[in-house]
Amino acid sequence: MHQVPNASPTAASASSEMYGSAVLDACKQMKARMEPIASKHTFACKCMLHVANRPLCTWNFFIKPDIGFDWGTGNGNPFSYFTIGVAFSKVEIDTLTGDFNRRRADVIMDLGFSINPAIDVGQIEGAFVQGLGWFALEELKWGDAAHKWVPAGCLYSCGPGSYKISSVNDVPFNFNVSLLKGAPNDKAIHSSKGIPEPPICLASSVIFAIKD
């Protein structure tokens, strides 16, 4: 097993976006190398490609093309594409206590041609519920006159041990997630799109529904 020092984490869809593209290009290189020999022989002979002095391994790396940003001038393209989504939320408010229930949430996301819809829908559901906690449940406690026991200017509620995180009871009762069809993305592997963080912001529909 090979280990790469200082490698980036498998976060923010890096596995599909970066590593998947590198693997795909490596497979294309391997296929092109094998094709001149493989096209002239039966399957049994193809298993003997090493006799024809053709290496049966390859390596590759992938760098996102056409992206870059100059923070000094504000010019450039920091992203190769955008992930777009829409959410509708319906809430029920207890006018005596101020508590609320999440009756329904409908989310639709443009993910190009999803590689694995089940995983993508799960990512959307999880991110939405996480965002719901961010917008509607988590209380920021700073060191100020109301919280004198917190050092001035410091944020006390900076982790799940000091604020209320979302639980299964916070999931909308009627939760519908769908993926936009017929919207390919030519800037990622198999016309897909990354989906880790964008749905978090869609949970703002809950707080807007409460305000309305």
| 38 and 92 together in one domain | no
Express each pLDDT in 118-151 by its tens digit: 999 999 999 999 999 888 888 888 888 888 888 8
Is the pLDDT at 2 greater than 60? The verdict is no
Domain-embedded: residue 97: yes
Range with top average pLDDT, 41-55, 97-111, 129-143, 148-162? 97-111
Residues 6+ apart with CB under 8 A from 179: 108, 109, 110, 111, 114, 117, 120, 121
Catalytic one among 92, 138, 139, 197?
197
**Mean pLDDT for the stretch of residues 39-45:** 68
Give 111's Cβ-side CA count (13 Å radius).
26
- Using a 10 angstrom Cβ sphere, with 0-12 exposed, 13-18 middle and 19 or more buried, the burial of residue 149 is exposed
User: What per-residue confidence (pLDDT) applies to 177?
Assistant: 96
Which residues are within 8 A (CB) of 197 and not within 5 positions of it... i.e. 6 or more apart?
Answer: 12, 127
Residue 99 pLDDT > 90: no
Residue 72 has pLDDT above 80, yes or no: yes
Residue 52 has pLDDT above 70, yes or no: no
Q: Show the domain range for 42.
A: 1-63
Which residue among 11, 32, 63 closes a domain? 63
Which amino acid makes up residue 160? P
Concerning whether 138 is annotated as a catalytic residue, the answer is no
Q: In terms of pTM, does the model score above 0.85? A: no
Residue 75 within a domain: no
Domain count of the fold of the chain = 2
Do 53 and 111 sit in the same domain of this protein?
A: no
Helix (H) or strand (E) holding 91: strand 84-93
Q: State how far Cα 176 lies from the chain centre.
A: 18
Determine the 3-state secondary structure of 131 from DSSP.
Answer: helix
* Residue 92 sits in the same domain as residue 139: yes
Does pLDDT of 174 surpass 70? yes
Phi and psi torsions of 11, nearest 5°: -125, 165
pLDDT digits (tens, 9 = 90+) for 182-203: 888 888 888 888 887 889 999 9
CATH code, domain with 131: 3.30.365.10
